[in-house]
A = this chain, B = another copy of it.
């Protein structure tokens, strides 16, 4: 046990519990003292509350009080989580979002679970998010200038979100299946099976971005395979092509629903936001990036505070 592992008054536990992973932070002010990971909501056997306590076990041994408060966001608030927390309706402000959080007792812990957000898109379709709203509100606290005026915030990922934020409220958003679709195409489709060589990914990415400039997605995907059969491209090139093609299409579609000018805020994994920055540059759009876990922690800190 190091000194930094000790629990002190004023320290907090907060975490993001998504479908595929639980990630908990021991926070002291803005600093992350420790992190620990556990099973995603989809992988939990038995009660999620018990899995939470098991994951925290090493921290209890170093002084985490049994009646501590734990702030959580993500799928932990879905019907398969600890408690189903209804979505907050858009337009949603930070205060509404915090007021609609649920506090539940798990063992002796006080677990505060963030609501997700729901909206009705301009085309009448329903859309939902769970977890990304915490990053959005965290981002607004880190960049106060974003809390005034109109901004486009994109959160790339498995289910990427493009949100429109006006004067600090999330007005509406749209989900893009980009990450999940890319993984399906890479791992389960016939498109990447023609070769074994994993090099050439970067060239493929650029080729995919270029192809996304014109033509539809459905009629462009098969090129990943045809280029291996006819043009000697590697499997790695094909995977890169699919990444560039899908990201390029997401950016095209996302910008079509956004303002014609202005910087796009990208929140997420730094490797991913760098790829989106590249795609946005092709459209002449500037991007600023924020690490998604930094934004999530900032949001989780506010979740624990009463408005």
Contacts and interface: CB of A to CB of B under 8 A. Distances in A.
A127 to B, nearest CB: 5
A129 to B, nearest CB: 10
A86 to B, nearest CB: 11
Contact of A176 (B222, B250, B256): B222
B181 A125 contact: no
Given A250-B219, A253-B219, A180 B189 contact: yes
Interface in A112-161: 118, 123, 125-128, 159
Contacts of A227: 125-126
Contacts of A174: 219
Interface string A216-229: 11111111001101
Interface string A181-204: 100110011110000000000000
Contacts of A214: 123
B219 A217 contact: no
Interface residues of A, number: 47
B217 A123 contact: no
User: Which secondary structure dominates where chain A touches chain B?
Assistant: mixed
A26 interface: no
A306 interface: no
A109 interface: no
A243 to B, nearest CB: 13
B175 A222 contact: yes
A229 B128 contact: yes
A29 interface: no
Given A123-B214, A229-B128, A219 B176 contact: yes
Interface of A: 19, 87, 118, 123, 125-128, 159, 162, 174-178, 180-181, 184-185, 188-191, 211, 214-223, 226-227, 229-231, 246, 249-250, 252-254, 256-257
